[in-house]
Amino acid sequence: MGDTMKGLSGGEKRRLSYASEVVNLPPLLFCDEPTSGLDSSMAQSLIESMRKLADNGKTIICTIHQPSSQIFKLFDSLILLTEGRLAYIGPRYHAPNFFASIGYRVPNFFNPADHYIQTLAVSPKNKQIDSMRTEYIVDRFGKSENYARILYDIYWTESRPAFVEQDIPKYSASYLSQFGWLFWRQLKLDLKNPIATTVTIFQAIIVSIFLGLIFFRLDENEKGVQNRAGALFVIIMQSSFGFLFAVVNTFPSDLTLVYRESKNRLYSITIYYLVKQIAEMPKFVITAAIFVTISYWMIGLNDNFGVFVQVLLTIILCSQVAISCGLLLSAASPNIEVAIALVAPAVMPLLIFSGFFLNDM
C-alpha cells in the first residue's frame, strides 16, 4: 500500500496543472512538454483534449517529448530546431516532402517524429559530421519556398492592426462559485491533515490546565484581584500569540500557487482570503472556547455564568483579531521566516500597553 498522505503524483500534478489552465478557455495556451511523466494512454488522452480545444478556435503551442505516431498526427503545424537554428516550420504534412527533397526521406512504417529527431540530433561522438548535416538542412530550408511563404505571412500579420477582444470577463466563474470550490478545497486539505487541528486543540487543553492549576481558585481579596489581572493577561496573551502563530505561515507557503491561479483568472484574491478566514474559523472558535472554559472555572474568576459568557465571547473576538493580524503579516511577508520574525514586533507593543500591570499614578 502506498502512503495516502503523499499527495498527487508527478503525472497527476501535470494533468491538474493543465486542467487549471484550460478551465477558463484561454485563447492562447503555451504547454511545456505536457506529456512528460505520463504513460502512452494518458498522453494520448491529454493531446486529444488539446486537439478539441484547437478545433474550437484556440491556439495551442507546446513542446513535445518523444511523441508517438498517433500523437504526432494530431498536430497541425511543426517547428523543428537544431543547435538553436530553424530547420523547419510549416504544416506537419509538408515536412516529409521537404525532408525527402533534401535526401532524408522518412522510412516506411517509421514514426516521423523519431526520424526528425534522429536526423537533426548532434551526437558528441560524431559532432563534426552531424553538424555538417544539420547545417545543410538549415541552409536548404532557408532557401525553400516554404520559408519564403512563412516570412511573407509574418510580414502581413505584423503589418495589420491586432484585433483586441472586448468585454472579456475578469473571471469565468461567479464569486459564489469561486467561494464554494475554494471552501471545498480548503476542507479537503484540512481533512487530509487532521494532526494540525488535533495538536492545536490538545495544546489549548494542556495550557489551560496548567494555567488553571497555577491560579487555582483565587481568593476574593486584594491579592486575588492582582492575581486575576495576571491570569487575564496570560489568557489574552495565549489567545493572541497562540492563534497568531498558527496562521502566520498561511500565505507564504501558498504564495506561488495563489499568484499563478489568480493571474489565470481562476479566482479572486479577496475570495481566497475570505475562504481562509471562514474555513478555519470553527477550529479556532472551538479551541478558544475549550481554553477559556477550562481555565475560567479552574481559576474561579467569577461564578456567574453570564459573566463567563461575556468573557468567552470577548476572548473569541480577541482570537479573531489576532488571526486577522496574523493573516496580514502573512500576506505582507515574502517567506515564512520573515513572517515569524514580524510577529514579536507587531504584538509586543499591544502587550506592553495592555494596562494590566501599569497602575495610575
Counting Cα atoms < 13 Å in the Cβ hemisphere of 238 gives 24
Contact between residue 287 and residue 200 where contact means Cβ atoms under 8 Å apart: yes
Side chain identity, residue 70: Q
Per-residue pLDDT, 155: 54
Q: What angle do CA 275, 168, 23 make, to 5 degrees?
A: 55
Contact between residue 316 and residue 288 where contact means Cβ atoms under 8 Å apart: yes
Rounded to a whole number of angstroms, the CA Rg of the chain reads 32
Per-residue pLDDT, 361: 47
Digitized pLDDT (tens) for each residue of the chain, 361 residues in all: 344 445 667 667 777 777 877 777 778 888 888 888 788 888 888 889 899 988 888 888 888 878 888 999 999 888 898 888 888 888 888 889 889 988 999 998 899 999 998 999 888 888 888 899 999 998 888 887 777 677 666 555 544 544 444 455 577 678 888 899 889 988 888 888 788 788 888 888 999 999 999 999 888 888 888 888 888 888 888 887 778 888 888 777 777 778 778 877 788 888 888 888 888 888 888 898 999 999 999 998 888 899 999 999 998 888 888 888 888 888 888 888 888 888 888 877 777 777 666 665 4
Grid coordinates 491570569 are at which residue?
231
pLDDT tens-digit map of 31-47: 888 888 788 888 888 88
DSSP for 155-198, written as a single string = HHHHHSPPP------S-SS-HHHHHHHHHHHHHHHHHH-HHHHH
Per-residue pLDDT, 273: 85
Grid coordinates 511563404 are at which residue?
149
Domains and CATH numbers, the chain: 10-159 (3.40.50), 175-352 (no CATH)
Per-residue pLDDT, 156: 54
Write the DSSP symbol of residue 79.
Answer: E
Can you list the pairs that 221-230 forms with residues at least 24 positions away whose Cβ atoms lie under 8 Å?
Answer: 228/299, 228/301, 229/356, 229/357, 230/356
Cα separation values, 200 from 125, 197, 267, 284, 357, Å: 61, 5, 30, 9, 29
Per-residue pLDDT, 157: 53
Per-residue pLDDT, 153: 62
How many whole angstroms separate alpha carbon 174 and alpha carbon 1?
A: 40
Per-residue pLDDT, 86: 87
